[in-house]
C-alpha cells in the first residue's frame, strides 16, 4: 500500500513558500486568499493586495538571484494573473490592484525578453558575417597572420579560425 504525501497549501505562509522554493504554489494562493477574505482570518482587501505584491517580489528576487529563468518568471506571473481573475471575480478592487501590478511586471519582462532575443540575434549575425569575411580573406590569398589578427580583433574563437584556415576553399 502506498501513502501519498499531501501538501496543504493553507499550512504555508508566503515566506515559507519562498524559503522552500515552492514558487509553483503562488498561483494557488489566490484561492487561499479568497478563502481568507471570507473565512476565519478576515483579511482586508489591502492585505490581500499586499500579499500579491509579496509573491511578485519573491518571484522577482528568485529570478534576479538566478534561481528561476525568465520563462519560469513569466509563467508564474501569468499563472498568478489567471488565478486572480478566476478567484477574485467578486472582489473588483483586489482584481484591479493585482492586475495592474502583474500587468506592469509582465510588460517589463516581455520587453526584456524581446531585447535579449534581439541582442542574441545581432550577436549571431555579426559572428556569421565575420566568419564569412575571414573565409573571403583566405580565398583572396591574404596571409594567415593577417587573417588571425582580424579574427582576434573580432573575438572569433580560435577553433573557428582554424577551421577556416584549414578549409580547402
Tens of pLDDT, residues 25-68: 988 888 888 877 777 667 777 888 888 889 999 999 999 999 99
Nearest Cα neighbor of 80 from 154, 134, 26 is: 26
| Residue-level pLDDT at 40 | 62
Residues contacting 116, CB < 8 A, separation 6+: 70
Residues contacting 46, CB < 8 A, separation 6+: none
Q: Which domain holds residue 61?
A: 9-121
Q: Judge whether 17 lies within some domain.
A: yes
How many domains does one find in the chain?
1
- Give the chain's residues under pLDDT 70: 40-41, 169
CA quadruple 114, 119, 123, 128: dihedral sign? positive
∠149-151-156 over CA atoms, to 5°? 145
Q: Judge whether 130 lies within some domain.
A: no
Terminal-to-terminal C-alpha distance of the chain = 69
| Residue-level pLDDT at 126 | 84
Q: Judge whether 151 lies within some domain.
A: no
| Residue-level pLDDT at 75 | 92
Q: Judge whether 4 lies within some domain.
A: no
Q: Judge whether 83 lies within some domain.
A: yes
| Residue-level pLDDT at 86 | 81
| Residue-level pLDDT at 62 | 94
Q: Judge whether 129 lies within some domain.
A: no
Q: Judge whether 87 lies within some domain.
A: yes
Tell me which residue has cell 498568478: 80
Q: Judge whether 168 lies within some domain.
A: no
Nearest Cα neighbor of 62 from 22, 11, 112 is: 22
Amino acid at each position: 500500500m502506498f501513502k501519498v504525501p499531501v501538501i496543504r497549501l493553507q499550512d504555508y505562509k508566503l515566506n515559507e513558500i519562498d524559503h522552500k522554493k515552492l514558487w509553483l504554489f503562488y498561483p494557488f494562493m489566490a484561492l487561499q486568499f479568497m478563502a481568507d477574505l471570507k473565512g476565519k482570518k478576515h483579511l482586508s482587501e489591502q492585505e490581500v493586495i499586499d500579499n500579491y505584491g509579496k509573491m511578485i517580489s519573491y518571484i522577482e528576487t528568485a529570478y534576479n538571484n538566478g534561481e528561476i529563468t525568465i520563462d519560469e518568471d513569466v509563467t508564474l506571473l501569468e499563472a498568478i494573473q489567471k488565478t486572480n481573475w478566476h478567484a477574485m471575480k467578486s472582489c473588483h478592487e483586489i482584481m484591479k490592484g493585482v492586475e495592474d501590478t502583474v500587468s506592469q511586471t509582465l510588460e517589463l519582462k516581455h520587453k526584456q525578453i524581446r531585447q535579449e532575443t534581439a541582442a542574441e540575434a545581432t550577436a549571431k549575425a555579426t559572428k556569421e558575417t565575420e566568419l564569412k569575411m575571414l573565409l573571403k580573406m583566405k580565398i583572396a590569398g591574404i596571409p594567415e597572420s593577417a587573417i588571425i589578427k582580424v579574427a582576434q580583433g573580432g573575438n572569433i574563437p580560435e577553433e573557428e579560425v582554424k577551421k577556416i584556415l584549414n578549409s580547402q576553399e
